[in-house]
Every structure is written in structure tokens, then in C-alpha cells.
Amino acid sequence: MNGVGNANAGVGRAASQVHRFLNEVWRLQPLYVSLYAILLSFVVGGVLISIIGVNPFTAYWALLRGMVGGGDQIAGSVARSVPFIGSALALAFAFRAGLFNIGAEGQLLAGGVTAAFVGALSWMSDLPGIVAIPLILIAGTMGGAIWGGIPGVLRAKTGAHEVISTIMLNSLVLFGVRWMVNSRDPVVLRDTDSTVPRTDPISETAVLPELVDSQPTLHVGLFALVGICFVVAFLLNRTTFGFEVGTVGLNPHASHYAGINVNRVIVASMAVSGSFAGLAAASEISGTNGFFQPGTFFLMGFDGIAIALLARTNPVAIIAAALLWGSMLSGAPLMQQEADVSIDVVRIIQAMVLLFVAADAIVRYLFRVRELDQSPFKATSIEGAV
Amino acid sequence: MTTVENAAGIAGTSSQARLDRQSVTGLVFGFLGVALIVGVAPAISSSSRRFNFEPPPDPAGIGFDPPTWVTAIGVLFLLTAALGFAPPAARVWASPARLLSALAVIPLVLVLSLALSDNPSTNIVNLFNESLVLATPLALGSMTGLWCERSGIINIGIEGTMLAGAGIGYMTYATIGDAQSTGWLWFSILISVLAGGLVAALLAVLSIRFGVNQIVGGVVINLFALGLTGFLRSEVIVKSGITTGVGTSEFGLPLLSKIPVIGDQVFRGQPIYWLMYVVVIGTWVVMYRTPWGLRVRSCGENPHAAETLGVNVVRIRYQSVILGGLIAGLAGAWFSMESQARFEDNMTNAAGFIALAALIFGKWTPWGAFGGALLFGFSRALGTRLQFLGVEVSGFEIPSEFLQALPFVVTLVVVAGAVGRSIPPAAAGQPFQRSK
């Protein structure tokens, strides 16, 4: 008994030594608190897997191989993560302006259908790729921006709460695109040669070049979405517009008295937010699918909320969070196939990751991590971290 | 989240904006009135239509002449528009007139859709009853939100709480009652309710004990419930082989269901539907007519002032969030044991978010939120009904997707125009720390 206690104390002392070293030398506390949170989530998931009579290590080994077990798996995981970057940015950017944009699901659909429409126009095949590809991406971006801008305008002009209007617009666009893609009389966007409801395939010239022939395809859209994260980081931290967005988010009244046009910032932030979701959708249409189907983006906006919050709305951290998210989803089928564990375990682990990252007090208590005085990642308030 | 609300304050407070909205609403009603009288009334079929009050054969009902009704509603709209610009003495009538006109949209839609369809009659009592039934989970969900947010905790995890209630309740029913026996059905509904309470307790611990951002807490709940119920479905429900069963059965209220014509339609229903009324009325009574309800509201508006007066803010918040969760669990049971006796992945299908919309629509009051839930229930019932009637406009049948989208358009218009600014409880979203 005594020995165990001593060993525990010893481990604790050693751990705190390591922590102090990591803090002082590299200021890595936010990183390792997050890593502990991930570890803890897998422990919880492992308990659940053992309850149904499967060895958790077998299941996790299959999951890991599904995620990063080889070149194809890695490429597939990255490809799966790419659109999540856009849907997470859509939430994160609006959040900086104090707006809660839960309309990424709808903005993805609006952007996707616009991109598919423009991509399938007959004259697109006459254009060279260098013109056609930017055109389809811009079309999708605009589609998302318009659908995101509507709740912004409603908020600024009438005070309608963006939570309610984005929920409504999500459903509206879903029914709208379903009609466009399903309807045979009149034919709107449906590919009449296809047995499943989908739009006409986009022109060959508008297809984003492929990087790796994985499942799903890894394409150049990766650079567009990773690049945009750095652009957003620059925009928020180094430009007047970014400053205005952050100020409105922190205190709209003070911003108003300081001479910032609050309504303009609200509309612009919502439109910019929507444009990220639109871009993600366009890159998927152009690089992966080649046509539009409403089911493609199901739950992608919903996951984007979680990813953005996991990254504490930091645009660069979103890349890492999206990678974690996408690769887990991408690896799950192998786990189901080999260990006969339901894919839903991954969703539970994801929820736990978000939980432990947010409630870092639990992690700090379990792993004896002392709180830094000026932690930039303090979990109690996202606004504080901004 | 407070910052979000502050932005709403700026966007909607200036008196200029409010005046604008009044005159814009007035202009819209004026335009609609003229269009109805001059454009629509002469164009639609003048053959007589009928609203029935009971199912065939030989139903009671009222016959009407569509153009006359459309013209009458158009005149009402014009009067409303005129009142908006009337001298100040008459303006006291402007607000009730706007409400009346907004309500008149319901008969207008019914009259127009019947006039444009080939069917000469439809049973409207049944339509209203369907609306109430479909509003059940939304009304319960909005009461969940009400209890949480009036106590100062934003709950966007209503969806997940409902889903957990639906999944865990049905799992219990399938494993111990084979989804057949009535006694176990009641037990399983109770388990649903408790599961909802337990999930809400997680939100409460996260947001009250650990001070986690409440939106993050809600997202965690939604994700967790989606994963957990999917896991339980594939590992327990599907493996048990009992994927469907027998749900709750209808019964008529004593005496009331004996009322001629409407009694048997309006006063017959399933148990959770009836409990919905108990919950809504109970919420109103407890929140507005008891000391405890006053304390809950004070914690949502100014927790520090409440604490100074001796209210235990932390305890009150735990109590109201868990109470809300119990209600959401009941809403979950409606999905998996009353509406259908089965459980599917993501069965609640965004009902929790629509309940949240109903709550905001109703400006964080019990009756307002109930009204919002009814609006959604009505539009959904109407969408199905119109599809059944086959409404045609100049030769083209209106696609079913348009009809299904109708409730969302209506809400968007109402929130932007007629309702406008909706003010949340002042302290909602702010973590509370006891004074030392």
C-alpha cells in the first residue's frame, strides 16, 4: 500500500518535472493538455469497447491502421479532413464577431449547388483549366457567401437572431436543392441520364488536379483550404477589418461608440463565414465528386461546429483539429470490419475529446498539470482566448 | 454568447430602426391587401368550397365562397396598413391589428389552397389536431430550453438530450419488455425521462462546476448522444432483433370526448401528447406563480443580485437544468415510443434545434414558445395536407419540397418582420462564481 503511494508520488513528481521543463523551454502546455485530453478520450472509448466484449487494443490497432496505416490511408484521411476545415472556419470566423453561425450545413449546400451548376455550364468545357477551376471555386464561394450573408443582413436590419435564421435557412436550402436535383418535370439541375438523383457532371476542365488516387481522392483543394486558414489568421490579427471583427465580438456597444459600423461588420462577417463553407463545398464538387448530391454534405456543418470549438476558433489550430476529426472518421470503417465494433464509437471518442479539451480542469486534475497564469487557451471562455 | 446578444441590441435598438420596421410591415400588409383584392380574388375559382369538421360520411362543416373570403382578408390587411400611418390616437389599435392580420394568414392559406385544388372540401378539425400532435416534441423541447435559459444556462444540447432519451428508452423497452407489454412501456418512458435528466446533469456539471463554455457543452452533448445512441442501436437493439414494437395507445378524455362532432377528434390522443399540456401549463405555473420560479428567473437575469438576497444560484441552476433534461427525455420518448415504436439513428432529426427556434420565437416565455411550437407543427401538418390535396397553380402542381419548406419560410418572415428583436435572459451563457 505504502509502496504504491510512493510510486504514485514519484510518478507525480517526475511528471511535474517534465511539465515544468516543457513549459519553461517551449511553452507547450496547451499542446500537451490537448494530448492528454485525447488520450483520456481513448481510454473512455476503450472501456466502452471492452464492455461489448472486444479487446480495445485490437479495435484501436485497426482504427490506427485505417487512419495512417499506409500511404493510401494517410492520403484518404487528409482528403476526408479537407472540407471540415472550411465548415469549421465558417463557425470560427463568425464567432470572432460574436455571431453564432450554425448555418455551415446550409452554406455548404448553397455553395455546392452553385459550383455544380457553374461547372456543368456548356461553355465551361471551352475554357482552359486555369480559368475554369478558379471560376468554379469562386462560384461556390459566392454561393456560400450569399447564403451566409442573408442571416447577417436579417440580423443587422431587423435584429432577427442568427441562430434561428441560420437553422431556418439550413432547412430551406436543403428542400430547395432536393427539389432542383430530384425534379423531372420540370428538369432543373437533374442529370436525366442518371438513375440516382444528382446534377450533370461538371466539365473536365473544371476538375481540380488529383494529388493521390486514394479513397476519397486527395486533390489540390487541400492547398486552397489550408492556405485560407493562414489568410484568415492574417486577416484577423493584422488587418483593420480583423480588428473591427474582434472588437465587435468583444463589445458591440463600445465598437459602436468607437465609430465602427457594427451592422456592416455583422453582414460582412456572416458573408465571409459562409464563403469558407462555400469554398469547401466547391472544392469537394470539383475535386472529389464531379457532381452534386444533397447527401454529400450531411452532418459536415455539424462536425464543423465541434472542430472549430476544439480548435478554440484559432484558424491555424483548425487544420490540426480537422485532421484529427477527418482521419478518425476515415479510419473507423476498418475498425468495424476487423474488430466488429460499431463506427459510432468514434463519435463517442470525438465527443469526449471535445469535452476534455473544454473541461481542461478534469485533465489538469488527473495528470497534475498546474495551470499557467496566462494560459492563452483558458477553457472557461472562448471569447477570452480571442 | 453575451457578446452575441449585445450585437443584437445594437442592431435593433435605435428607435429609427423600430419605426422603419413598423412602416415596412404596414407597407407589406398594404401591398398584400391590394394584391389579394385586385389580383387574387378575381382570378381564383368561385365555385363553393367546404371546411368539414368531421370525417365523412355526411360531415358537418361550413361551405364558403373563396373570392369573398380572400377579399375580406385583403380588406383586413388594408385596414392594418392604414392604422400604421393613422394619427397617434388611433395607433393604439395598430398593434392588435397587426397580430390579427398575422393570424389571418392561416385561414388565408387554407382558403387559397382549397380553392386551387380539385378537392372541394377538407377536414380542418383533423388538420388542427395533427398540428398539435406534431408540435408535441417541439413544445416539450422548448420548455427544456426555457428552464435552462431562464436559469442562465444556454442549452443547445436539447437535440442530443432528446435523442438520448429516445434511444435509451427504446433500448430498455426492447430488451426487457420485448417492445410489446404495456407495463414495461411505462417503465421505459420513465427510463427515457431519467436518461434525459442524466444527460442534462452532464451539461450542468460541465457548465456550472467546470465553467465550460455552455455552447461547447451543448455541442458535446449533441455529439455524445449521436454516438452513444448509434452505438447502442447497433450493439444492443439490432442484436436483440426487436427493431419495432407496440407504442402507446390513444384514449379519450372522459366526458369531453363525448362532445358531438369534434369531441372524438380533439379529445382523443396518446399519453405523452396529453402530458405535453401538463408540462406547458405546469411550467407556466411554477415559473411565474411560485417563489422557486421567481428564483430561477432571477438567476437568469442577475445571479449576483439573487445571491445577495440569499438565493443559492448554483443549486437553482442545477435543479432547473436537470428539470429541463427530464422534459427533453419525455420528448425523446415521444419519438421512439409514441409517434413510432422503433428507434433509428438521428431519429430526432433537428427537432431540438427547431424547439430552440420556437423558444427564441416565443421570446423566452412559456406561452410564446408553445405558440412557436404550434406554428411549426401546423406548417408541417399543412405541408402534408396540401400534398394530399394536390394544389395546382396554373397547371403546375406545387412540388412537395416547397410545401415542406413552408414552415421555415413562415418562421423566417415572422422572426424578421413581425417579431423582430427577441431579448434573452441577461445572464444566459455567463458562468457564475460564488462570491467569496
Q: What is the mean pLDDT of residues B52-60?
A: 77
**Do the beta carbons of residue A306 and residue B223 sit within 8 Å?**
yes
Closest CA to B319 of B301, B292, B294, B298: B292
B404 and A175 in contact by Cβ < 8 A?
yes
Q: Residue A23 falls within a domain, yes or no?
A: no
Provide the shortest C-alpha distance from residue A147 to chain B (in Å): 14
Helix H or strand E encompassing B41? helix B41-43
Q: Residue A6 falls within a domain, yes or no?
A: no
Q: What value of ipTM does the predicted structure carry?
A: 0.82
- From the list B11, B212, B229, the residue facing A263 with the nearest CB is B11
For the cut 50, the answer to whether the pLDDT of residue A378 exceeds it is: no
CA–CA separation, B169 and A302 (whole Å): 25
B402 and A266 in contact by Cβ < 8 A?
no
Q: Residue A111 falls within a domain, yes or no?
A: yes
For the cut 50, the answer to whether the pLDDT of residue B12 exceeds it is: no
With bands split at pLDDT 50, 70 and 90, how would you rate the model's confidence at B365?
very high
Instruction: Please identify which residue in the block is written with the cell numbers 432542383.
Output: A180
Task: Find the CATH number of the domain harbouring A130.
Answer: 1.10.3470
B9 and A379 in contact by Cβ < 8 A?
no
A346 and B227 in contact by Cβ < 8 A?
yes
Q: Which residues, in sequence order, are CB contacts of B67 under 8 Å at separation 6+?
A: B41, B42, B44, B46
CA–CA separation, B227 and A44 (whole Å): 13
- B57: cis peptide before it, omega within 30°? yes
A97 and B7 in contact by Cβ < 8 A?
yes
B121-123 and B49-52 as β-strands: parallel, antiparallel, unpaired?
A: parallel
pLDDT of residue A28: 66
A168 and B17 in contact by Cβ < 8 A?
no
**Do the beta carbons of residue B231 and residue B346 sit within 8 Å?**
no
- From the list A164, A253, A306, the residue facing B10 with the nearest CB is A253
Helix H or strand E encompassing A38? helix A29-51
Q: What is the mean pLDDT of residues B299-328?
A: 95
For the cut 60, the answer to whether the pLDDT of residue B5 exceeds it is: no
**Do the beta carbons of residue B380 and residue B107 sit within 8 Å?**
no
Quick one: fold of B127-376?
Answer: ABC transporter involved in vitamin B12 uptake, BtuC (1.10.3470)
- Length of chain B, please? 436
Q: How confident is the prediction for chain B on average, in pLDDT?
A: 85
Q: Residue A366 falls within a domain, yes or no?
A: no
For residue A323, the enclosing domain spans 55-340
The reply to whether B354 touches chain A by the CB within 8 Å rule is: yes
Q: Residue A248 falls within a domain, yes or no?
A: yes
pLDDT of residue A377: 41
- Three-class SS of B114-137: HHHCCCCEEEHHHHHHHHHHHHHH
Ranges A46-55, A83-92, B178-187, most confident: A83-92
Does B81 or B324 have the greater pLDDT score? B324
Residue of A nearest to B355 (CA): A164
Q: Which residues pair with B244 in a beta bridge?
A: B342
Q: Which residues, in sequence order, are CB contacts of A14 under 8 Å at separation 6+?
A: none
With bands split at pLDDT 50, 70 and 90, how would you rate the model's confidence at A292?
very high
With bands split at pLDDT 50, 70 and 90, how would you rate the model's confidence at B422?
low
Q: Which residues, in sequence order, are CB contacts of A209 under 8 Å at separation 6+?
A: A219, A220
Closest CA to A281 of A326, A200, A224, A211: A224
- Phi, psi of A211, deg, nearest 5: -100, -50
CA terminus-to-terminus distance, chain B = 25
Q: What is the mean pLDDT of residues B70-95?
A: 82
CATH 1.10.3470 range(s) for chain B read 127-376
The reply to whether B231 touches chain A by the CB within 8 Å rule is: yes
Local structure of A244: helix, strand or coil: helix
Q: Residue A253 falls within a domain, yes or no?
A: yes
Least confident of A46-55, A376-385, B141-150, B252-261: A376-385
What's the predicted TM-score (pTM) here?
0.85
Does B415 or B375 have the greater pLDDT score? B375
The reply to whether A252 touches chain B by the CB within 8 Å rule is: yes
Neighbours of A298 (CB within 10 A): 14
- From the list A248, A253, A309, the residue facing B219 with the nearest CB is A309
Closest CA to A139 of A296, A1, A279, A41: A279
Closest CA to B162 of B300, B319, B405, B354: B354
For the cut 80, the answer to whether the pLDDT of residue B6 exceeds it is: no
For the cut 90, the answer to whether the pLDDT of residue A214 exceeds it is: no
With bands split at pLDDT 50, 70 and 90, how would you rate the model's confidence at B19?
low
Q: What is the mean pLDDT of residues B15-29?
A: 65
Q: Residue A173 falls within a domain, yes or no?
A: yes
- What does each C-alpha distance from A218 to A135, A205, A224, A320 come to in angstroms? 20, 18, 12, 17
Kindly list the residues from chain B whose CB atom is less than 8 angstroms away from the CB atom of residue A159: 8, 11-12, 17, 420-422
- From the list B215, B231, B408, the residue facing A342 with the nearest CB is B231
Kindly list the residues from chain B whose CB atom is less than 8 angstroms away from the CB atom of residue A160: 412, 415-416, 419-420
With bands split at pLDDT 50, 70 and 90, how would you rate the model's confidence at A15?
low
- From the list A97, A176, A342, the residue facing B235 with the nearest CB is A342
- Condensed to tens digits (0 to 9), the pLDDT of residues A107-166 reads 999 999 999 999 999 888 888 989 999 999 999 999 999 999 999 999 998 888 887 789
**Percentage of residues in chain A with pLDDT exceeding 90?**
60
Provide the shortest C-alpha distance from residue A18 to chain B (in Å): 26
CA–CA separation, B86 and B364 (whole Å): 32
**Do the beta carbons of residue A303 and residue A86 sit within 8 Å?**
no
Provide the shortest C-alpha distance from residue B334 to chain A (in Å): 22
Provide the shortest C-alpha distance from residue B384 to chain A (in Å): 14
* Torsion on CA atoms A274, A276, A282, A286, rounded to nearest 10: 180
Domain count, chain A: 1
For the cut 90, the answer to whether the pLDDT of residue B375 exceeds it is: no
Least confident of A35-44, A116-125, A311-320, B247-256: B247-256
The reply to whether A355 touches chain B by the CB within 8 Å rule is: yes
For the cut 50, the answer to whether the pLDDT of residue A383 exceeds it is: no
Q: C-alpha angle B332/B409/B84, rounded to 5°?
A: 120
- Sign, CA dihedral A145-A150-A154-A157, equals positive
